[in-house]
Amino acid sequence: MQSRILIVDDELSMREFLTILLEREGYRVEQADTAEGALSLLENEEFDLVVSDICMPGLSGLTLLEKIKQMTPETAVLMITAFTTAEQAVEAMKLGAYDYIAKPFKVEEIKVLVKNALEKRYLQRENSRLRQEIRKENDFSGLIGKSRIMRDIYSLIEKVAVSTANVLILGESGTGKELAARAIHDNSTRRDKQFVAVNCGAIPDTLIETELFGHKKGAFTGAVTDRAGLFEQADGGTLFLDEVGEVPLQLQAKLLRVLQERELRRVGANDDRKVDVRIVAASNRNLEDQVKEGTFREDLYYRLNVVELRMPALRERPEDIPLLIEHFYVKLVQQPYTKDDITPEAMKVLLAYLYPGNVRELENIVERCLIIGDRKITLESLPQQVLNCGSDAPATVELAPEGMNLEEYLDSVEKTFLQQALARSGGVKKRAAELLGLTFRSFRYRLAKFGMDDES
């Protein structure tokens, strides 16, 4: 691809000389005789390099440089100066010029400078492209992670998104269930329609029916107009029912009918309305247990759970923690992230912590650190509960005056270390056993003792 160069100089002879020289080198060249003219071209066209004189009538070359860096910071700028304007040349470098050349200059000298400036521009563009590809590998529709367990989730989402099947997303609070639901919608044929999310646990039992299905004017006190519910709002798109296990049992039959018949009846109405909605539901509770307890309908459970997607706890994918920290840093600070923005000691502690609040808790921790640590993540900026968990030194334990249950205490300590070992090993049991100095058989026995044998 031909590089594009813009020559800016009020002297026609200099513009013509540089144009002929650079076109012979294979570049596409355009000219402007003023900074104002150059800015007009830059507003509508993209140039890889601008070669500009510093001293010009009207706007100076330095002012042009400043405006170029505001408009398109990636455009390289090479300044031309006279011997008497060396101070201005230094100022140009401070403002972001790639380099400057003094008049009179040699032909070979300008050729080399232009070639080097364009090579740097090319490398910057390639680096930007590679960073975007890396971000794409680690970022799937807002879900962040490169661990094997997350890559498997991305693959499942891609497969299920193109179908019309209902999906049930399970996982602890803060694991990103709504992000997964949005990813399913964004990768489906319904992506141009509405994605409507509702937290069923946040709506009072007395209001949830009208929220979901709408109501007719006069259906109850305060119903002064007809109102469409969330199902109708999501018509043609996707309805995300978060914490679906909280839907009252008496309403579950009506929800099941809508899923089966694809039609609903507003509260107080006598007629049915057709709706075309894809359902993605989520819960942080064990719905199978609720079915056994009689608090969740079995037929509704199987209607929702055509495809099951389990979002992992953050402790199950500790290798994604650095990526998430970088993501939240950039999101909160709005500037690029470097390794200098977090101390090694702080990273070590953050990798050891188990995150009972999962990804949501990590985001809160990063935000707190950036406020307290003046845009840096340090040990001093970490919350105390994280520091306590990440400390390598054993805690001092004292027997309470009223005594204690030693077996329960030792069991809690043992379970904590088992969880930490699994987290640090990425769920690889053999490696986790090695971290604790246990045989694999002994490690499996201890997992079974605490009902953790399925957590890896």
SS (HEC) of 140-203: ECCEECCCHHHHHHHHHHHHHHCCCCCEEEECCCCCCHHHHHHHHHHCCCCCCCCEEEEEHHHC
Give pLDDT tens digits along the chain (456 positions): 789 999 999 999 999 999 999 999 999 999 999 999 999 999 889 999 999 998 888 998 999 999 998 888 889 999 988 765 667 777 888 888 999 888 888 899 999 999 999 998 888 777 666 655 554 555 677 899 988 899 999 999 999 999 989 999 999 999 999 999 999 999 999 999 999 999 999 999 889 999 999 998 888 888 888 899 999 999 999 999 999 999 999 999 999 999 999 999 999 898 899 999 999 999 998 999 999 999 999 999 999 999 999 999 998 898 999 999 999 998 898 888 888 899 999 999 999 898 989 999 999 999 999 999 888 999 999 998 888 875 444 444 556 666 767 777 787 778 878 887 887 776 788 888 888 888 888 888 888 888 777 543
Rounded Cα distance between 5 and 77, Å, is: 10
Cα separation, 251 vs 253, in Å, equals 6
Which amino acid is it at 342? I
Name the residue among 196, 195, 219, 197 with its Cα closest to residue 207.
219
Q: Is the pTM of this model over 0.85?
A: no
Domains, the chain, ordered by start: 4-135 (3.40.50.2300), 145-312 (3.40.50.300), 315-390 (1.10.8.60), 406-449 (1.10.10)
- CB count in 10 Å sphere of residue 319: 15
**What burial letters (b/e) apply to 379-418, b meaning 16+ CB within 10 Å?**
bebbeeebeebbeeeeeeeeeeeeeeeeeeeeeeeebeeb
Q: Is the dihedral of CA 343, 345, 347, 353 positive or negative?
A: negative
